C-alpha cells in the first residue's frame, strides 16, 4: 500500500508543485494548507487528504502528522519565525515514527544581512541534529517571482524592488517541485544531504531581454525602491517611469495592462496584510539584492538530481507565456 506523504505549505508555489508531482508519481498526499480556498485547489490537483490549519500552531501541525511516512516541509514567505515551527514538526515526526523530512530552505542561508535566510539555517541545524533523517534543499531566487508583474510585462516593463543591475541566481520552482517530490517519494541515499539548487545567473536587464524576445515587444527593467513595500508613496516615481516606458513600448495597448499591473503589484502576495516583522524582513532582503544581488549556488547539482538539464530562463519564459495564451515565434 502506498504510504502517505505530508506536504506543508501546499498552497504556495513550491509546496503545490511538490504535491502535484507526488500525485503524478502515484503517491498518496496529505496537503497542509491555510484556507478553504487553498484546500479546493489542492483537491483539484488530486491530493488524497487536506488539513486546513495555521503552520505556526504546534497543535495544527501535530494533528497533520499521524499516519504519514514522510514530510516535505516549506514555510510560506510571510512567515519569519520558522524555528518554533520546525521544533513542533520534529517533535510530531518523532512521536509518529516519520521516516524522513525534506526541508525547503534557501540558497546561502548564512548571509548575515538576511534574517529570513538565517532563520532557515537554524532550522537546517535543528533537522540535522534531530533523530529524524532529513534532506535540505537550498533553492535560488525563483524565476516565478517576476510573474507577479505579468500585466506590467505585457505593457513593456519588468519592475522589481531591487537594482536591475544586480546579478541574481535563479531557478524554476517547478524543477524544485520535481526534485522535492522525487526525494520525498524515495529518500534512500539522501539522508543528511544538503543540495544547492540553482540554474543560472542573470541581471534583470538580461531577464527583460529574454521577455522582449518571448513577448514580441520591448520590455524594460525598472527599479522599484526596496522600501516601497512598506511605503507605497516611495514608488510614485517608479510608477511614472513604468507608464512612460510602457507607452513607448506598446502604445495605447499599454494603458489597461498598466492600470491592472500597478493595482495588483501594490499588494503582491497579500503583502499589505503581512505583520510588520515580515515586511521588515522583505525590505532587508530587497535592500541586499539591490546592492549585492544573490549569487547562484553549485549549478551542477540540480541537473544531476533531475537527470536532465535544468529549465533555463528562456524556456521558463516561453512556457509561462504559452500558458497565458501567447504564441511564441
Which residue did the predictor score with more confidence, 227 or 323?
Answer: 323
Tell me the whole-structure pTM to 2 decimals: 0.93
**Is the pLDDT reported for residue 233 higher than 60?**
no
The reply to whether 118 and 189 lie within a common domain is yes
Tell me the mean pLDDT in the region 166-177: 98
The reply to whether 181 and 121 lie within a common domain is yes
Partnered with residue 72 across adjacent β-strands are 7, 102
Enclosing domain of residue 64: 4-139+171-197
C-alpha cell at 289: 539584492
Question: CA 127, CA 104: separation in Å to the nearest integer?
Answer: 12
Sign for the pseudo-dihedral over CA of 11, 69, 103, 85: positive
Read off the pLDDT band of 229 (50, 70, 90). confident
Rounded to 5 degrees, φ, ψ at 122 are -65, -40
Question: For 174-228, how does the pLDDT look when each residue is reduced to its tens digit (9 = 90+)?
Answer: 999 999 999 999 999 999 999 999 999 999 999 999 999 999 999 999 999 888 7
Kindly state the percentage of the chain with pLDDT values over 90: 79
Helix, strand, or coil (residue 25): coil
| Cα–Cα distances in angstroms (integers) from residue 258 to residues 209, 234, 238, 302, in the given order | 19, 18, 12, 36
**Is the pLDDT reported for residue 129 higher than 90?**
yes
**Is the pLDDT reported for residue 2 higher than 80?**
no
The reply to whether 45 and 161 lie within a common domain is no
297 within 8 A of 108, measured Cβ to Cβ: yes
| Number of domains present in the structure of the chain | 2
95 within 8 A of 53, measured Cβ to Cβ: no
86 within 8 A of 79, measured Cβ to Cβ: no
The reply to whether 185 and 212 lie within a common domain is no
How many H helices and E strands in the chain? Answer: 13, 12
Which residue did the predictor score with more confidence, 76 or 5?
Answer: 5
Question: CA 34, CA 23: separation in Å to the nearest integer?
Answer: 20
Question: CA 199, CA 312: separation in Å to the nearest integer?
Answer: 7
The reply to whether 95 and 21 lie within a common domain is yes
Considering only CA atoms, which of 150, 151, 198 is closest in space to residue 173? 198
Map grid coordinates 496537503 to a residue: 31
Partnered with residue 201 across adjacent β-strands are 169
264 found inside a domain = yes
Helix, strand, or coil (residue 146): helix
Helix, strand, or coil (residue 53): coil
Tell me the mean pLDDT in the region 144-164: 94
The reply to whether 58 and 175 lie within a common domain is yes
Tell me the mean pLDDT in the region 5-14: 95
Question: For 245-289, how does the pLDDT look when each residue is reduced to its tens digit (9 = 90+)?
Answer: 999 999 988 889 888 888 777 666 667 677 888 888 889 999 999
Contacts of 36 (CB under 8 A, 6+ apart): 52
Map grid coordinates 546579478 to a residue: 167
pLDDT at 1: 43
C-alpha cell at 326: 501567447
220 within 8 A of 158, measured Cβ to Cβ: yes
**Is the pLDDT reported for residue 329 higher than 60?**
no
pLDDT, averaged across the chain: 93
Among residues 197, 212, 245, the one where a domain terminates is 197
- The angle that helices 115-129 and 276-291 make with each other, rounded to 10 degrees, is 100
Considering only CA atoms, which of 277, 314, 303 is closest in space to residue 77? 277
Measured in residues, the chain has a length of: 329
Question: CA 295, CA 293: separation in Å to the nearest integer?
Answer: 7
121 within 8 A of 163, measured Cβ to Cβ: no
CATH of the domain at 128: 3.40.50.720
The helix (H) or strand (E) run that includes residue 33 is strand 28-33
The reply to whether 102 and 158 lie within a common domain is no
Question: For 17-73, how does the pLDDT look when each residue is reduced to its tens digit (9 = 90+)?
Answer: 999 999 999 999 999 999 999 999 999 999 999 999 999 999 999 999 999 999 999
55 within 8 A of 79, measured Cβ to Cβ: yes
The reply to whether 162 and 246 lie within a common domain is yes
Half-sphere exposure of 112 (CA within 13 A, CB side): 0
Amino acid at each position: 500500500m502506498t504510504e502517505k506523504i505530508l506536504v506543508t505549505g501546499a498552497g504556495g508555489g513550491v509546496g503545490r508543485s511538490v504535491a502535484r508531482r507526488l500525485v503524478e508519481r502515484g503517491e498518496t498526499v496529505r496537503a497542509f494548507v491555510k484556507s478553504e480556498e487553498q484546500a479546493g485547489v489542492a483537491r483539484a490537483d488530486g491530493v488524497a487528504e487536506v488539513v486546513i490549519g495555521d503552520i505556526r500552531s504546534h497543535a495544527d501541525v501535530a494533528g497533520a502528522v499521524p499516519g504519514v511516512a514522510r514530510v516535505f516541509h516549506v514555510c510560506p514567505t510571510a512567515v519569519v519565525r520558522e524555528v518554533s515551527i520546525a521544533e513542533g514538526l520534529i517533535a510530531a515526526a518523532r512521536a509518529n515514527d516519520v521516516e524522513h523530512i525534506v526541508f525547503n530552505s534557501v540558497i546561502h542561508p548564512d548571509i548575515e544581512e538576511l534574517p529570513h535566510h538565517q532563520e532557515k539555517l537554524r532550522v537546517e541545524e535543528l533537522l540535522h541534529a534531530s533523530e529524524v533523517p532529513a534532506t535540505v534543499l537550498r533553492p535560488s531566487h525563483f524565476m516565478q517571482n517576476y510573474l507577479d508583474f505579468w500585466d506590467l510585462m505585457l505593457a513593456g516593463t519588468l519592475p522589481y524592488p531591487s537594482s536591475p543591475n544586480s546579478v541574481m541566481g535563479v531557478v524554476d520552482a517547478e524543477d524544485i517541485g520535481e526534485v522535492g517530490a522525487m526525494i520525498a517519494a524515495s529518500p534512500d541515499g539522501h539522508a543528511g544531504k544538503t543540495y544547492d539548487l540553482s540554474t543560472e545567473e542573470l541581471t534583470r536587464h538580461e531577464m527583460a531581454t529574454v521577455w522582449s524576445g518571448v513577448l514580441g515587444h520591448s520590455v524594460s527593467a525598472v527599479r522599484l525602491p526596496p522600501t516601497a513595500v512598506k511605503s507605497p508613496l516611495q514608488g510614485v516615481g517608479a510608477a511614472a517611469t513604468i507608464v512612460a516606458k510602457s507607452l513607448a513600448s506598446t502604445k495605447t495597448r499599454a494603458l489597461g495592462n498598466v492600470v491592472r499591473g500597478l493595482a495588483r503589484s501594490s499588494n503582491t502576495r497579500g503583502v499589505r496584510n503581512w505583520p510588520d516583522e515580515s515586511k521588515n524582513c522583505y525590505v532587508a532582503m530587497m535592500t541586499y539584492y539591490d546592492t549585492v544581488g544573490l549569487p547562484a549556488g553549485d549549478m551542477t547539482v540540480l541537473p544531476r538530481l533531475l537527470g536532465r538539464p535544468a529549465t533555463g530562463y528562456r524556456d521558463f519564459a516561453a512556457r509561462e507565456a504559452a500558458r497565458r495564451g501567447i504564441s511564441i515565434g
